[in-house]
Structures are given as structure tokens and as C-alpha cells.
Chain A
Amino acid sequence: MSDLWRQMAVARAIATKDLRAEVRGRQAVTTTLFLAAVTLLVFGFALGPDRARLAEAGPGLLWLAVVLSGVLALGRLHQSETEDGAFEVLATYPVSRAAIYAGKAAGGVAAMLALGAVVIPLTVILYGVDIGPALPGLVVILALGAVGLAAVGTLYAGLTVRLRAREVLLPLLLLPVVAPLLLAAVSATTAVLAGDPLRELAAWLQLLAGYDVAMLLAGGLTYGLALEE
């Protein structure tokens, strides 16, 4: 039991360190918040000024903005570790690899939630999507999506962080893997905004939760391999 507590303390320390660095202006995530906002604006230009069309495409564009800027944010959260050999030092600590992974992933979840907090209100403002009573449902979907994205994104960011081509390679590897998450999150968002007329929301939430569990397990078991190189 005390071992589990110690592992959680390690994870918390790593996540806190990442967030503190962010707050003090390392700008791994902050810049991607603006990128997400600009992406939503540009989607609007690509689809034209038709309000009904924009509102209909809203859930898809919302998640596309979260995923695209989220991938960049997760990559940059790892990139800061490569400076001054921080990653190597982290790897020499006598703590469990799964705890390090949990810490990095928790920082990633916080970053993804921040992205959602920017993107959801902007979708309402720019595309005229009516949220109304759907807000609690949206928060649940965002939370599940954030965990899944951070779970697999943290693992892949760890694998690619030492490669020179990482900026291209990380999205290239990650986007096919997050395809089911994107599909489920968009479908769930569409359902919850429409008041769930087909009673399909629960199924999509289950799929998202299952994806989260599978990717967290895969990450917890294999992330250490990325560190030990």
C-alpha cells in the first residue's frame, strides 16, 4: 500500500513540475491553445459562412482542433525533457517507470483539458452551436477524450522525442491510433448536443472508456522502454 502511495507521489511530482514549468512560461502548451483557436477560425473559412452548416460540423471541428493541437502539445511536453539531458536523469531515478509515465500522462491530461476549455466556448461563439443543457455531458466526453489522447500521446511522444523528424513523425504515428477516439468523441458530442435521441451516448462513452483503459495499460507497460534506450 505504501508503495502505491510512493508511486503516486512520484507521478504527482512529475506532473506538478510540468505544470509549474508551463505556468512559468516555458510555453509548451500555451502556444498550442492559440493554435487551436486559430484552427477553429480557419475551419470556418474553409466551410463558408453558412451558419447551419457550421453548427452541423461543429462537433467534428471541435475535436479535430483538440486532436491536432493536442498532438503538438504532447510532443512539446516531452521536448522540454530533452534539454540539458533531463530525460536521462529522469531515467536514472530509482522509481517505477509506470509512475513516471503516469506523471507525464497526468500533465498531458491537464493540457488536453485546457485545450478543451478554450475550444468548447469558441465553438459556441464561432459556429453558433447551442450547448445549453448538454454541458455536463460535454465535460464527461472531454475528460474521457483527454485521458485517451494523453495516454497514447505520452507513450508515442516518449518514443519519438529523440528523433530529429519528431515534429512530423509524432502526428503521423499518432493520428491513425487516435482514429477510434476521434470517431467516438465526435459521435458522442453530436449525440449529446442533439439530446441523445437514439440513446447511443452510453455506448460511445463506453468505447471511449475502453480505449482509455487499453492505452493506459499499453503506456504503463511499455513507456519504460522508451526511457531506457
Chain B
Amino acid sequence: MATRVLGISALAAITAATAVALFVVPADLNQGEAQRIMYLHVAAAWLAYLSFGVTAAASAWWLITRGQRADAVALAGAEVGVLCTAATIWAGMMWGRPVWGTFWQWEDPRLTTTAILLASYVGYLLIRRLTDDPVRRATRGAVIGIVAAINIPIVHFSVVWWRGLHQGPTFVSPDTILNPPAPGQFVATLLLMLGAFSLAWLWLVITRYRLARLEWAAEDRARRGRLVPLATAPEAGS
């Protein structure tokens, strides 16, 4: 029940925040209407990083306790994180084309790091799907979740240096939008969007966590023969 209330509030909050971002706040003078993408982009990016932080912590928790709850949290974090990362990159590209003049900016450390992050956790989800054994699945996932998290700061550093050691790019950093001189309206709208997205994130993670627990309980029953798995059910008419 509480989760349902959370889900409905998240939906209402996102609708309200989107309406504010699209119709109430004026667009940025320099960037034009494209700047409105920033609200979605920044909110999704923040939650993507949060998700993978949750996955890394839950992975360590699994390795210590071997509790199924920890693994379910890790899986929920990774799946929601991949969704948020994909949304971040997509929104960033839609913004980058009109503002930077290009979809992809190789020397931008955040963009490159986020792309590596997406690739790493897609791999995480793929390797999980290849095993039915719950312990192996969780352990392999946990090691990969932790190594990917260790790797991210190194990727970020390397791209920052890469940029610094080459000639610096001349585009305006997205940071400047959020700097103190940015009008209060922009910041307020962004915070509203962040709050709305965080509610939706929480709902998604909780729902995915429950689904994972239910799935595994069903797998477990199937293994113990109390439930006939679909794959081995006798065919109709035979």
C-alpha cells in the first residue's frame, strides 16, 4: 500500500515538474529551448550514479553476509541504474547536438565515463542472466559490480588528463548552468525535478527488489519440484 502511494506521488511529482520545466520557467537565453533538456539530464545522471553506488555497496554486503536480500538490492540498483544511465546519455546527446554542435564529445570526461559505466553494467546484467544457480549468479555479479565501481574513478581521471594534456575543448561546460550566477528559477526547477525523479527511483528500486525476491522464490520452488517449470511442462495434446 505504502509503495502504491509512493508510486502515485512519484508520477504526480514528475508530471508537475515536467510542466514547470516546459511551460513555467523561461528558456536559457543562449541555449534556447534545448536547455530544458538539462532538467531531465541532470536528474537522471544523479540517480544513475546513486544506483551504481547502491549496487557496489550491496555487492560488498552480499560477499560478507551471503544474504539473498543483498543480492536483490544489487540487482535492482544495477537495472534501474542502466535505465537512468541510458536516459542520461540520450538526453545529453539531444542537448549536445544543438548546443555543442555534436552528439558526442570525446574529450568530455563525464560523457565518456558515463558511457563506460553503461557498458560495464550492461555486462553485469548479462552475466547474471547466464546462470541459474543463485549463489554463483550473485557472486559473479558482486565481483563485477565492485570492480566496475573501482574502475569508474580511474576512467574519469584518465579522461580528465587526456583532455588536460591535449588542447582543452572550447565548448561551454554544462557546469556553468548550475553555477551560482544561474537564475534561481533554474535551480529551483532542477531541484523539483531531482525530487520527483528520486521518488520514481525509489519506487522502481523497491518494485524491482520485490520482483527479484518473488522470481527467486518461484525458482526455488521449481527446483524443489513443487511447481512444474514452464520449460518442462508436458505439451498440450501429448
Contacts and interface: CB of A to CB of B under 8 A. Distances in A.
Interface in A187-229: 187, 198, 200, 203-204, 207, 210-211, 214-215, 218, 222, 225-226, 229
Interface in B114-140: 116, 119-120, 123, 126-127, 130-131, 133, 135-136, 139-140
Given A177-B120, A184-B158, A229-B136, A169 B126 contact: yes
A179 interface: yes
Pick the most buried of B140, B144, B165: most chain A CB atoms within 10 A of its CB. Answer: B140
B150 interface: yes
Contact of A207 (B139, B146, B158): B158
B143 A159 contact: yes
B143 A211 contact: no
Is chain A's interface secondary structure helix, strand, loop, or mixed overall? helix
A177 B148 contact: yes
Given A155-B143, A225-B139, A214 B150 contact: yes
A165 B161 contact: no
B166 to A, nearest CB: 9
A179 B63 contact: no
Contacts of B159: 183
A184 B120 CA distance: 19
A193 to B, nearest CB: 15
Interface string A89-132: 00000000000000000000000000000000000000000000
B162 interface: yes
A101 to B, nearest CB: 12
B91 interface: no
Contact of A176 (B123, B133, B150): B123
Contacts of A218: 146-147, 150
Contact of B139 (A172, A177, A229): A229
A131 to B, nearest CB: 22
Contacts of A214: 150, 154
B60 to A, nearest CB: 10
A19 interface: no
Interface string B169-183: 000000000000000
A180 B158 contact: yes
Interface string B207-233: 000000000000000000000000000
Contacts of B120: 173, 176-177
A66 interface: no
A15 to B, nearest CB: 22
Nearest to A177: B151
Nearest to A160: B127
28 contacts: A152-B147, A156-B147, A163-B127, A163-B130, A169-B127, A169-B130, A176-B119, A176-B123, A177-B147, A177-B148, A179-B151, A179-B155, A179-B158, A183-B159, A183-B162, A207-B158, A207-B161, A210-B154, A211-B154, A214-B154, A218-B147, A222-B63, A222-B143, A222-B146, A222-B147, A225-B63, A225-B139, A225-B142
Task: List the 4 shortest-distance A-B pairs measured between CB atoms, nearest first.
Answer: A176-B119, A180-B158, A173-B123, A180-B154
Interface of B: 63, 116, 119-120, 123, 126-127, 130-131, 133, 135-136, 139-140, 142-144, 146-148, 150-151, 154-155, 157-159, 161-162, 165
